[in-house]
Each structure stands twice: as structure tokens, then as C-alpha cells.
Chain A
């Protein structure tokens, strides 16, 4: 922010100099200093115009990762953003987004699910070895895009201490995608033995209230397993 202000102040200074030179030129002042001032003013005036282009050139190779990381930082999770960036996961997510757009037809649905599950597995591997802040993970899950929500569930599958009942119930009851609901149920399975009777009842109520689960063999199987687990 401060850099941007400085750049625009520089531009204003340049504009001021150019105006000054013009005024002196109208008064027929033709000294060498005036020419030098005109050159300096023009250079300063050009800085704000060139700055954004230079910045874009500087980051073009990293722009994809930076965009997602910035989004995660804006969600209030700077430490998680750094870890995801360093592990290469943000790059994979952006690549997946490209593939998903290109393979939007329903005939590629299984391929898309396979790729998303691969991402979830990568996230789970990351959280098995790296310590993440549960509050940050919850924040990304709560306010993030559908894909980020699934990714956070993957992190929680790798490290169940990141999860809680609210996340599981939200993933099942208000899932943005079918795959999110599936991973919400997988997470419930991981946590089932630690859940209180009330927490189990809440999870099963959320599953029962969604008729889509009944029509999906994978999700239905997990719910039946949960019901059967003492």
C-alpha cells in the first residue's frame, strides 16, 4: 500500500514539474535547466504508468500460485497460505482448476473426482507432517471457495485434531459439492470414536436430512458404516 502511494506521489511530483516547465516556456524562459527539469518531470510522470506493468512482468511466472495464496491470506490464514504455497499444493489446485474448466462435460466427471481426491490426499499428507493452526483451517473452510473447503477437509483427514463437529456437520448439511459431502462423511468416520452421543446424533441427523445421500452408493455406504459403529 505504501509503495503504491509513493509511486503516485512521484507521479504527481512529475506532473508538477511538467506544469512548471510549461508555465516557464509560455514566459519565454529557454534556459538549459528548464530542459533538464522537463526531462526529470516526464520521467517521474511515467513511473506510475510503468510500475504496474513492471510488477506484472516480475510475478508472471508465479502469478497462479500467488493468486490463490493471496486469497487464502485474505481469508485470514497467512500461516496456512505459506505452508500450502511451500508444499506446492496451491499450484496443484490452480492446475486442477484449469483441468476442471477444460473437462467440464459430464463424461469427465469421474476424472475430475479422481483428480480432486488426489488433491485431498496431498493435503492429508501435508497435515500429517506439518502443524497447521486449526483456527486458520476453520476460517478457510468457513469462508473459502468450494474447492478450498474440500482441501481443508483433506487437511483434517490427515490431522483430525484440526477438525471439530461443526465442520463435519457443515460439510454434510450445507456442502457446496457432492465431493465435499463425501469427504465430510469420511472425516466423520475418522472422528467417530471420539464423538459424544450428541455429536454422533447431530452428524447422522444431517446425513438423514439430505435425500441425495440415499442415491449415492459411496456416501450411503459410509453413513451405514457410521450407524453400525458402536
Chain B
């Protein structure tokens, strides 16, 4: 059934627009109507639900109103209490999509972390390691973001893929250092310590299966240079985890305790000294750019993009096996290139009305327990 998406003006000059009637933000489910503001006189009412958010006509607005008695948020209003009007159904879809992503149930999201890690401290541990890598990089001061460049063409022109790949690898190593440091700090309770330890093993394997290192010798070099105890166990241990990974591209089922999503949700976010200390988890660096259109506008440098890029690499499917990851098939640069393409599709595509953009940005930052900042995220 076709849905007439174009807002119209009634004969009596009552302007019609699309309004959200009822919205379950975290579930990605909503009802919207074409109607005058603050009215139930709907010309058209549709239902939208993730994943495809295809507008489905529901015939009557009473269905939407009924949902508000069952836990749905009633409408969407700005700070002045006015209903937020959308110019098209595409804008409504974008709003529902971004609300769902910001809630943490979308790509890489698992709502709550699988295990607790101590908050990261800016400029220390993994943050210091990444800071050194950035200081050595010729791309460190490059401003890549240009308004309207949704396909990362400017970035691709200004920063060689080899350099982006190197920085992504070093940021991944910074997450490992942060994780190893948390284990050494003995701040964790016994059970949590065991879970965090196991999580780090699987994190190594997850990074390996996504071709973060072009060769296993690079991982060995990093592990020995920084005396990473869990890395040592993996490389020298008798349980042959790496061997299993080489054959199948994935850790064996009995070696898994956490899903990829749970690991990504729990992974620490090493911070440069001037970064927002509230960004303690890597997943925040993915969910914010996916849901807040102005994120890269406020964070236009290459270093700020790298955590997002790592999270995007880990959100895309892994290589079928490490034989293909190392040499024969898809390599590290290609993984990063694919992640950029994925981000180009998943980051906000549709411009929202200013009031809606402001509300969704605030909601996304609220998920971190912190207000939006103009300083680097």
C-alpha cells in the first residue's frame, strides 16, 4: 500500500505535517501521523519498526494513542512544549532509527556491558600509547571532515589508507593495554577479575579475526614489547587458541563466553589527554556518530575518528578464516576501507528539523550520562 508522504495544506489552511504520535525509543518502534499539530484528526497514520522501518499504514490514529497507554512515549515535543513537525516520512524514519541506535541496541550494542572495567583516565595507559602514535603520525593535524562529504572522500584524499590502518591498529593495541592495566590494578573483585581476564582473551581473538594486524608477528612484537600477560598466555599457551583461530577464522565455540557484541560493549576507550573523560567505553565512539549528526562536525580531526573506525571494523563481519585475513584474502587496509564504507551508509543521511536534531543529539549524549560538548569527544 502506498503512503502519501508529502505534507499538504488543507482547504481551511490548517497546515499538515508528519508528527510522532507514539514512540518506544529504545525498541525502535513508533506510530506517526500526517495531521495538524496537537490534533487527532489524522489524514494518514503509519507504524514503523526496526530493522527496515518500512512505514505500514494502520488505518486509525487510535491504535497509536492506545500505544501511549502501554509504555510508548506520547509524541515528541521541544523544550517549549511544541510538537516537533517533520517535513517527510523519511525524516520520521531517520529520527526513529537514530533513537534506536543511540539507545545502544543497534550495531555493536548490547545495552549493558558484559563485565565492569575501571573508567579510563585521559592521557594515561592506553591513552598515552595512542598519544605517542598520534604524535608520530603525519595525519595527526589533518582536518578531514567537510560538511556534505558523506562518503569520506575528503578523508580518503587527505590521509593514505596505510596511515589510517596503522592508527587503527595502534588504537586497538591501546585498548589491550588499558585492559591489561585494569587486570594488574587488582581493583576488580575475584569473579569480575576472571570475567575480565576471559573477556580480554576473546578480545585478542576478535581483533585478530578482523585482521587488525597484517601479520601475527606484529601481534607478537607488541605483546612482548609491552609485557602483556594475557597476550603471552595466548601466544604460548597449550590450549592452542590461535591455532584454532587460524583454521576457522573464529574462536572455537567452547572457547567463547561472550558474544562479539558483548565484548564491543565492554571494551575500554583509551583517551587522549584532552578527550572527554565520560567516553569510557569504545562503543560510545560508535553510537554517537551514528545517532548525532553534528558529532564529526565537532570532532573533525583524524585522531577522533580512529576509535569510531576501530568500532566500525569490529561491527562488520569478520573474515571467514585467518588464512584469508593474512595474505590470501581481505587484509587490514581492506577491512578499514570496508568500515569507512559501512560508516558512510550508517551515519546520519537525512537532515532533521533543527528541533528534532537537537533533541536526538541530547538524547544520545544522555545515554553516556553527560551533556554534549563542543570539545573533542
Contact = CB atoms under 8 A, between A and B. Distances in A.
Q: Do A and B bind each other?
A: yes
Contacts of A169: 47, 49, 56, 58, 63
Contact of A164 (B52, B58, B71): B52
B67 A202 contact: yes
Given A196-B24, A197-B71, A166 B49 contact: yes
Contacts of A209: 60, 62-63, 66
B62 A202 contact: no
Contact of B49 (A143, A174, A202): A202
Interface residues of A, number: 23
**Chain A interface main SS type:** helix
A205 interface: yes
Nearest to B69: A205
Contacts of B277: none
Interface in A149-196: 164-167, 169-170, 173-174, 196
Contacts of B15: none
A174 B57 contact: yes
B1 A198 contact: no
Nearest to B66: A205
Contacts of A142: 1, 56
A206 interface: yes
A143 B63 contact: no
A174 B52 contact: no
Contact of B58 (A138, A173, A208): A173
A199 B27 CA distance: 7
Interface in B71-117: 71-72
Nearest to B45: A173
B59 interface: yes
A158 B47 CA distance: 24
Contacts of A174: 1, 56-59
A206 B72 CA distance: 13
Contacts of B56: 142, 166-167, 169-170, 174
Among B22, B27, B48, B72, the most chain A Cβ lie within 10 Å of the Cβ of: B27
Contacts of A199: 24, 27, 29, 49
B221 interface: no
B63 to A, nearest CB: 4
A133 to B, nearest CB: 14
A206 B62 CA distance: 8
B342 to A, nearest CB: 21
A205 B23 CA distance: 13
A201 interface: yes
A134 B43 CA distance: 30
Contacts of B57: 170, 174
A141 B161 CA distance: 45
A204 interface: yes
Contacts of B130: none
A138 B56 CA distance: 11
Among A138, A199, A200, A202, the most chain B Cβ lie within 10 Å of the Cβ of: A202
A106 to B, nearest CB: 25
Interface in A104-155: 138, 142-143
Contact of B72 (A164, A165, A173, A198): A198
Interface string A89-103: 000000000000000
A46 B56 CA distance: 51
Interface pairs A-B: 4 shortest CB-CB: A198-B24, A198-B27, A205-B66, A201-B70
Interface of A: 138, 142-143, 164-167, 169-170, 173-174, 196-202, 204-206, 208-209
Interface of B: 1, 22, 24, 26-29, 31, 47-49, 51-52, 54, 56-60, 62-64, 66-67, 69-72
